Amino acid sequence: MALEKMGVNPKDYVIVSLQGQNVLQVLESGFVAGANLNPPLIFSAQKKGFNKLVDVGSMMQMPSGGLTTLVKTIQGRPAEVKRLLRSLQLAKDEIRRNKNKTVDLIVQALQMDREVAAQTYDLYLTTLNLTGIPDPEGMANVVKALHSLDRFTDRNVAFLDIADDKLATEVAKQMGYKIH
């Protein structure tokens, strides 16, 4: 999808799926010309002299994180779902307000060195959905990505088929977020 957005035909490329640390090794070997890397590998690649060609995350609206539950839970226990949404938003707000504390947590939980943890934090901030309300464009991109993998191609999937933004919107308003 990022290639298409750049005006390039993805069919002009051979795209292979690689996992974990192997991605960096394969990139170093020259077997592939480029790789889609996430933290901390992106920082390791840059230290080894590789250049960032495209920031896919800044090009594509995609959901990051989120809450998944059953429709019957949303309908039958909306107050509980709203409390959970509020808790997630409060945690996200704390992450945004307190870089040092969050970097300490990343270092401890993911056993990263502090520099890489700080870079990961900075990159993570660029992906945050500040209000917690599911974004129709991002969800449409998820569907498009699934279609590109030949999944669910037999039907059109509407936003309301895969997301419910009512409770998240209520919570965002209660918390004083600016809603577009």
Contacting residues for 9 by C-beta, under 8 A, at least 6 apart: 3
Best-predicted range by mean pLDDT among 20-24, 49-53, 168-172? 168-172
Amino acid of residue 174: Q
Instruction: Measure the CA angle with vertex 52, ends 50 and 55; round to 5°.
Output: 155
Best-predicted range by mean pLDDT among 4-18, 32-46, 87-101, 156-170? 87-101
Ranges 31-35, 59-63, 109-113: which has the least confidence: 59-63
152-177 as b/e, with b when 16 or more CB fall inside 10 Å?
A: eeeeeeebeeebbbebbbebbeeeee
